[in-house]
Structure 1
């Protein structure tokens, strides 16, 4: 099974003014991320506004990103659902389209117990041959995998890791005991890249990388190559920006930042909408301090 490492961008979905998906811009973003050394691209995740995309749009996005990447970086596709049967169908579909990995979120809303969690992920992983990454983000879903459930699932032949976005470093410490050559832990929070790497993590699935792909790549690779001090300094340098990117619901701030950066990725689909004035001013002030207000060349 493929082992993913490094900085994998949780890619936004660019829109035209009329709200339709901007596939030309999507291709440009893929090319830019390849050039800027992103180690992987994650599509149809939280940052992609996936709940606001219909099935046809999702399929076309996956096709376009895989085509544009052309094998140069792995493409991981969010195929999770709170409906296990739907997650199985989507996982098989994206596998058939050429996804290198599948990101599967915990079942939200109709929250299950821990045996149900294990059965849910096992049912999905059993029907595919593509590597599956668990996605634990209780702040979004209202539920969390337990340490015991992660231990069981980490032994499944098709489950190769977990995107851990609980913000609970104690929980990360506990599940890091299960890291081996087959199972990896990835930071799902940009403010915890270095702490999770220090526990044996293999990388990050990053919102920050949408605007600073090379720098996010350097935070991870420098740590993995033994240059811990450089990695630590990079993490701290961008902490104010990282926090500002979550001052409102993701992906509102990151899209605002990208547009301020001259990347022209468009707006949002309801219920998401533009940032409030105070939040926008705070974000732009931090970007200006970091000299990120200039257009991308």
Structure 2
């Protein structure tokens, strides 16, 4: 069994126009990403403000992405919630819209235990019958998928990957030692991309790649031949990754993609736009990287 993808996946932003989803701009952004060598798209996740989109908007975004990509890269969709039954129904709708797979977050607020996680993810995977990427992001859900839990879930034929946003390389190493070879591991943190690859990771699901997709894929490709060169390339973009940490995702990246013409600067409450001086600082770093100054 082959990995879902190797290299750079992009957790794509969702553009708005006067409060409604701007599907035309979304299409242009996808084409930009495809033209810059990305290997997969992730729709309706944290960066895409999925929790503030209606179900109708989410499905139309999936249909749009599937149509634009036209099988050039796979399209994965964040379809998990803290309600197992609702997650199953929405995931089935996502499947009908043409998604290649789904990404499932750990339940939040009514958080469960590890046995509950196994039951939750297994029920969704078996009902939907699409490739499943588990999403471990305890900073947002206050819950971790323990390595032994990942090991058990990896026995399910539909559960084939993990996006890990813990930043804990010991966790990554432990999971890597427990799962079968075909099970893919993707970094959910831009700043630990190289370290994640050092631990045997298969790629990244990136936020910053919304703006610098080619650079991320270049780093991955370089790493396969010369890790030191990849490290040098990563050092060149690190100032932008740091600049994008000025506030909570996706507020900073939304400011940058607006500058690039792939959003209008707006977010849906409770998220708010960055103040002008912070936006200016991010754009300044981006321009320096593109001009080869940094």
- Indicate conservation of the 8 Å contact 1:179/1:200, yes or no: no
- Give secondary structure in 2 for the equivalent of 1:268: coil
- Give secondary structure in 2 for the equivalent of 1:161: strand
1:174 aligns with 2:184: no
- Give secondary structure in 2 for the equivalent of 1:157: coil
Task: State the partner residue of 1:122.
Answer: 122
Change (3 A) 1:264 1:105: closer
- The root-mean-square deviation of aligned C-alpha atoms, in Å, is 1.7
CA distance in 2, matches of 1:154, 1:187: 17
Q: Counterparts of 1:72-111 in structure 2 under 5 Å?
A: 72-111=72-111
CA distance in 1, matches of 2:118, 2:192: 26
Task: State the partner residue of 1:295.
Answer: none
CA distance in 2, matches of 1:284, 1:48: 20
Query: Offset of 1:199 from its aligned partner?
Result: 1.2
Q: Counterparts of 1:33-182 in structure 2 under 5 Å?
A: 33-182=33-182
For residues 97-152 of structure 1, give each alpha carbon's deviation from its aligned partner in whole angstroms, at most 9, with x where no partner exists: 21111111111111111111111111111112210000000111111111111111
CA distance in 2, matches of 1:2, 1:29: 28
For residues 189-233 of structure 1, give each alpha carbon's deviation from its aligned partner in whole angstroms, at most 9, with x where no partner exists: 01111111111111100001100011111112222x322122111
Task: State the partner residue of 1:272.
Answer: 271
CA distance in 2, matches of 1:11, 1:70: 17
- Give secondary structure in 2 for the equivalent of 1:245: helix
Q: Structure 2: which 5+ runs fail to align? A: none
Tell me the TM-score normalised to structure 2 length.
0.94
CA distance in 2, matches of 1:214, 1:291: 11
Change (3 A) 1:164 1:77: same
- Indicate conservation of the 8 Å contact 1:154/1:178, yes or no: no
Task: State the partner residue of 2:208.
Answer: 208
CA distance in 1, matches of 2:244, 2:216: 14
CA distance in 2, matches of 1:117, 1:180: 20
For residues 221-247 of structure 1, give each alpha carbon's deviation from its aligned partner in whole angstroms, at most 9, with x where no partner exists: 222x32212211122211121122121
- Give secondary structure in 1 for the equivalent of 2:119: helix
CA distance in 1, matches of 2:242, 2:82: 29
- Give secondary structure in 2 for the equivalent of 1:290: helix
Query: Offset of 1:278 from its aligned partner?
Result: 4.6
Query: Offset of 1:179 from its aligned partner?
Result: 4.3
- Give secondary structure in 1 for the equivalent of 2:80: coil
Q: How many residues align?
A: 291
CA distance in 2, matches of 1:59, 1:109: 25
Query: Offset of 1:262 from its aligned partner?
Result: 4.1
Task: State the partner residue of 2:11.
Answer: 10
